[in-house]
Amino acid sequence: MDVDGVLTDGTVRIHSDGTESKVFSILDGMGLVRLRRAECAVAWISGRPSAATTARAKELQIPHVIQGRTDKLVALQELAASLGLTAKQIAYMGDDDIDAPAIAWCGVGVAPAQAMPSALKAANFRPKRAAGHGAVREVCEQILGARGQTLPT
């Protein structure tokens, strides 16, 4: 999944000292931990490098974090190849024009409600919750449910 606008509400706070901060949902974090515990591959692909993203990924033990890549489809296809996954085995969630090709390519394309029109058009699932406020958790629960798995705690 993308990060800004998916795991966050799209806001990046730039402080006067040049550092940045983002707000991540605890609900989303728990969903991602449960996916990881259920042995689902979890990956973040972000168009911009961010220390806040790195810190949150480390905290959640996200095994695949790709930053500074605006060619999301190519990045996703490279990751899929390295993991031995086909497009049909992948769900991708994004919110912007640069995410639309990856959303369209994978088996389950997801865009939060406030995503850009191109991402919404490419998606075949839209969570009810907003980005940065449980949308990712909703997707995690859908994935686990589709696999017939209960939510591990």
CA pair distance 114, 94, nearest whole angstrom: 11
The CB density around residue 5, as the number of other CB atoms within 10 Å, is 24
Quote the mean pLDDT of the chain.
Answer: 95
Domains and CATH numbers, the chain: 13-146 (3.40.50.1000)
> And the tokens for 127?
């969570």
How many residues can be counted in the chain? 153
Q: pLDDT higher for 80 or 151?
A: 80
Beta bridge partners of 66: 45
pLDDT given at position 141 = 95
Q: Is the pLDDT of residue 153 over 60?
A: no
- Say if CB 8 and CB 24 are below 8 A apart: yes
Q: If 0-12 CB within 10 Å is exposed, 13-18 middle and 19+ buried, where does residue 122 land?
A: buried
Average pLDDT over residues 73-98: 97
Q: What is the mean pLDDT of residues 116-141?
A: 97
pLDDT digits (tens, 9 = 90+) for 98-127: 999 999 999 999 999 999 999 999 999 999
Sorted by sequence, the CB contacts under 8 Å of residue 18 that are 6+ apart come out as: none
Residue 18 tokens read as 């040049």
Model confidence at 54: pLDDT above 60: yes
